[in-house]
Amino acid sequence: MKFRLHDIAHCRAGDKGDTSTLSLIPFDEADYPLLCREVTAEAVKAFLGRTIRGEVTRHELPNLPALQFVCTGALGGGVTTSLAIDPHGKCLSSELLEMELETGTGL
């Protein structure tokens, strides 16, 4: 059985130039190890690949607990030059929360 990230976490987005940052925070701290295991930089890049043209780097923040993804080449050149409908990349946080995981992975 599958579930979506929005069932166990929320996400915030930020931007600087052509880089978007996505912070993924579980509702329940007990789900943090599941997020660390399943939501890799590679998985995020594959899932958001039609938008993110550069690299995705993941940072683990266990004391919060949260994961932060730094996504380069994600904003069509940056807010002041982009013709994108969402030049700040705020929709990327909602899009990431649509990622599916398998219930057999630990939920």
Q: What percent of the chain has pLDDT over 90?
A: 69
- Contact predicate 37/105, CB 8 Å: yes
Q: What is the pTM of this model?
A: 0.87
All structural domains of the chain with their residue ranges: 2-105
Say if CB 107 and CB 37 are below 8 A apart.
no
Fold exhibited by the domain 2-105: Alpha-Beta Plaits (3.30.70)
Whose structure tokens read 């995981």? 101
- Per-residue pLDDT, averaged over 20-34, amounts to 96
Q: Per-residue pLDDT averaged across 1-11, rounded?
A: 95
User: Would you say residue 89 has pLDDT above 80?
Assistant: no
CB contact at 8 A, 3 and 9: no
pLDDT of residue 88: 53
Task: Decide: 25 and 65 in contact? Cβ < 8 Å.
Answer: yes
pLDDT band at 18 (very low <50, low <70, confident <90, very high): confident
